A and B are shown apart, each in its own frame.
Chain A
Amino acid sequence: MAEANSEFVLELHGMTKRYGEVLACDNVDLKLRRGEIHGILGENGAGKSTLMRMVIGLALPDAGTMVLDGKRCRIVDPTQAAEHGIGMVHQHYSLVDALTVWENVELGEHGKLDPGATRERVVEITERYGLDVDPDATVRDLTAGMRQRVEIVKCLRHEPRIIILDEPTAVLTPSESQYLFEVLVQGVRREGWAVALVSHKLDEVLQATDRITIMRDGHVVERVLTDDADAASLARAMVGRPVTLRAAAAAAAIGAISEEAIATSSAEDSHEGEPPVLEITGASVKAADGAVLLDGLSLDVYAGEIVGVAGVEGNGQAPLTRTLSSLITLDSGTIAVNGAEVRSGRAGAMLRAGIAVIPADRHDSGCVPQMTVAENLVMSTLGEVSVRGVLQGDEISERAQGLIDEFEIHAPSPDTPLAQLSGGNQQRVVLANALSCGPKVLVATQPTRGLDVGAIEYISGRLREAADEGIAVLLMSTDLGEIAALADRILVIYRGAIIGEMARSEFDVERIGLLIGGSTAEAGVT
């Protein structure tokens, strides 16, 4: 074991964590230095988040030690982590909507409740780091960017020496991301923070960090100084195999790989004269409390193409997905499949019209974990496996087994409860269910989020195949790399409407970035 070294404020040795059969972290070593932003780069499922969970006390390691300022320690819950000076800026599930900013900052503290003192503290922190937040605002009314600032205040309140950020820019516009990095750099310089920035975005890590550790499949594959690194080498290390289409596009997005590589990917179709399969016109809907969910959204998808919708989360992807799942009734606007209008909000109407949806959160509206694999697979085609209302067991088994084989789903048996399958396999079930009913339109929202590399490759491939077979595919993703790799046409969604469009050949990262941030003027909207 290394001797206590004042250069390192936190050392992780041999951290290991298993979830069931999956080895999320395998003997990981990491050293964080004072006054430095350390990027932890890796694809989804690489183990970086699990590692940080252990540092912050939300998970217990199966093996490994943590050394803080030269002394061994064990962290079992977030409060303890805070006592040791480790803070984390969370992404989800750490702010209570119904409470105000100062109440949220106060949550988890101890001692008598003193609103005045808390408000003062909040103001003090926001002024010190240039974060503009009103202590008495209700969190529900805040944008994603502002919520993150509240998270930051909550974290900084304990004057941490080590700050962990997990995929912090996922819900931010480019300008908000910029702002965040400035705050970090300032803090690092002035206070000597040790910052761990977990991300899967190459450009972000290249821009904002001093040092990078790359993880893949649960272990560390490379450590570099950011100045010595470039996109291509990072991409290779991250993926660990001949660069795939996806990584190529991701790298190309920042201009690192030749045009050739991109040109060899699928050609565009031109669809002159054909009507679109899916046509959404002026879709608008407001939530019960008045918040605008969709604001005159219009888009078309033609047969055989993949339309990618890029944008920061929270700009209408979820309402759009839910509307196409028959879960939301539009206030105005129309949805038409092959020219025939489909009524929104009516149970099953979208499915009957030929629209199959893979939602962002499969447990929310994609599949039913309590039911068996077979039941999840046949649920969209019940009519075909029943005779006069009675389910035919053999038909169901046969069909289920067929789908299991075709989609390479790893399940002990078709009668296993879905909950026992891994995330990647559950997503394959969702995909199989969607494709098996012969849809005309396939909507996939964040289809590969949180999955291991194998599943990502598989699902991306199936989406491409579906398009090749003539299905109109609508892909919504916050991951530009995914969109760049798969989409024939790219749309940008912002505040409930589509504000920009470009064909694959015109793909321009800067312009997309601007559109994502809402600046239509500079981006030259088509």
Chain B
Amino acid sequence: MENSFYVGISRQSVLQDQMDLIANNIANINTPGYRAQNMVFEEYLTKAQNNGKGLDNTDDRVSMVTPYGQFQSTAPGPVEHTGNPLDVALNGPGYLGVQTPQGIMYTRAGNFQINAKGELVTGTGQIVAGKSGGALVIPKDARQVTISSDGTVATDKGAVGQLMVSEFANEQDLDPAGNGLYKLSPHATSTAGPALNTKVVQGSLEGSNVQAITETTRMIDVLREYQATQNMLQTEHDRETTMIQQLSKVY
């Protein structure tokens, strides 16, 4: 009897999850290299009570909704010219490799810095991976750092190395790990391949690809759907109240 309640609640609970996702996108609207996330829902069928063999041979299964997963938008974010020689943006589908205690992770945020040892690091101090492994060390007496379109880092004292730029056949294999980093999913179907279609642009920085208008529209949508479901629950509640009142009058 309460099925309609449960269906409504299942919808509201996924709408809350979606609201969380939208909130996270909007909170990261200024985060370099951030990629907007979106959610996928899935129908969930309850077990049939009479195996589809009721009096009128109908299927009495009830379909609910559950969250299925999320995916990140792979649309390129706006590229801002910063003039900072240690800012790099990627033009193409690739990702920059970063060394972390959990192994190589990937990022689109190319706002790098130099640490006290002269190594190229991310804003959170993680070492930027070179193509052949190891760190990229900028010599102390270097006057100028140039990063060419294939990711080769050079100074006026000579070449330093090459940035690790990887491409993935399926970018959804990358799971967000926080700090602007993505981790290759343990169940990934693709592996990090060489950068064939990605160019490195020095002195620019890729912003967040979150679209304010899309997120706001989605947010309104979530709110209204939430309220509509609530109305449905209210109607159902009234119906049951009426039913109880009417039935009790008989006696």
A binds B: no
List residues of A whose CB falls within 8 A of some B CB: none
List residues of B whose CB falls within 8 A of some A CB: none
